[in-house]
Structure 1
Amino acid sequence: MSKKDNTDSAGVILAYLNAKNRPYSAQDVFCNLQSQHGLGRTAVVKSMELLALEGKIKEKTYGKQKIYFADQAQFKDVNDADLKAMDVRIASLNEEMQALSQSCGQLNAELKELNNSLTREEMVSEIARLRDECSECHKRLDKIKSANNHVTPEEKDKVLKEHNVYVKEWRKRKRLTSDIMDTILEGYPKSKKEFLEEVGVETDEDYKVVLPTI
């Protein structure tokens, strides 16, 4: 290694230790700076020993391991007022962090719910399927009603129960569709009427259809 390379390595390490202002071993510094600056382990060890010898950093020996840290004399003393102000700032930032974490949690929950909801294309397809299903149910119901006395009480009771099930499902799907559209419209720049026309959705109200009572 040339003298210039050695000086460059020492400068990088000195700046790093001063910025972090915490104790590190030579191995720690090598691991932290190797990928970014391409420093070799031997260069790091020699540079840190040189910096300690020149008094630019401090060195402590614990057993077989040497620990290096920035010379604290270069840092300005902090008085009690400054410490109290820092404590207040830290408390304020902690409160802000907790509020942001809570907000992120709520947004993630809303995002998960939206991801589990039907897409616009799925919603249109589901509405079409339900219309066909309702049409078939009406045909069956009309056929049963026109049969007069050919329908047994048991069959009538079965049809009424099925009718109630379909009406409940209709109401549920109508509410679900309304919720989905409301969610979409929150970010949609136009009116609800324009949205319905754009996606080709026809509502019960368009055909003056009223949900039957159960």
Structure 2
Amino acid sequence: MSTKPKQEAKVAVLKGQEAEDKVLEYVKKMNRPYGAVDVAANLKGAVPKTATQKILVALAEKGELTQKVYGKTTFFVYNQEKIDSLPPDKIADLKSELAKIEGENKALAAEVKSHSSELAKIKATPTDEEIDRQIADVQKAVW
């Protein structure tokens, strides 16, 4: 019996600025609180755990991340003040567009319901062959 060697994909370990950029990119993309161990695990070994902790602390000192300590555990989240937000007029435009689309959607749903009921009526109506067969059966019964 032969055994096949396991082939594991080796992840290139990042160092320096590349590692810092990768950690910042990940935390920004996920936009939720993480501990250093979670970030290192989610990066699948691209950045070692000890380096991840140091990078997260350094990014918090630079103001890129917000650091919050709960007992012995420290969590990091992307600085929410750096996230772009939509101006109120753009939000109002999007809300009006949403209302318009929802109205169109309701109209289309009503049309689909109407067509579905019409289709059910058509399917319930006997075909020409069925009517001919029923007429022949009635004529046989009468004569």
TM-score for both structures, normalised by structure 2: 0.50
Aligned-residue offset at 1:8: 1.7
Amino acid at match of 2:66: K
CA separation of 1:60/1:16 partners in 2, compared to 1, >3 Å: closer, same or farther?
Answer: same
Amino acid at match of 1:49: V
Higher helix share: 1
Aligned-residue offset at 1:12: 0.6
More moved, 59-68 vs 72-81: 72-81
Tell me the alpha carbon deviations over residues 44-71 of structure 1, each in whole angstroms, 9 at most, x when there is no partner.
1111111111111110111111110111
Partners of 2:93 and 2:71 lie apart in 1 by 37
Query: Given the alignment, which residue of 15, 22, 44 partners 2:25?
Result: 15
Decide whether the 8 Å contact of 1:58 with 1:69 is kept in 2: yes
Matches within 5 A, 1:96-107: none
Query: Given the alignment, which residue of 53, 57, 62 partners 1:49?
Result: 57
Partners of 1:6 and 1:74 lie apart in 2 by 23
Q: Which residue of 1 aligns with 2:43?
A: 33
SS of match in other structure, 1:67: strand
Aligned residue-pair number: 87
SS of match in other structure, 2:44: helix
Amino acid at match of 1:41: K
Structure 1: runs of 5 or more not aligned: 93-214
Tell me the alpha carbon deviations over residues 97-118 of structure 1, each in whole angstroms, 9 at most, x when there is no partner.
xxxxxxxxxxxxxxxxxxxxxx
Aligned-residue offset at 1:21: 1.2
Residue 61, structure 1, aligned to residue 55, structure 2? no
SS of match in other structure, 1:68: strand
Residue 82, structure 1, aligned to residue 74, structure 2? no
Higher relative contact order (CA 8 A, sep 6+): 2
Partners of 1:47 and 1:84 lie apart in 2 by 40
SS of match in other structure, 1:34: coil
Amino acid at match of 1:17: V
Aligned-residue offset at 1:43: 0.9
Identity %: 26
Aligned-residue offset at 1:6: 2.6
Query: Given the alignment, which residue of 61, 81, 95 partners 1:73?
Result: 81
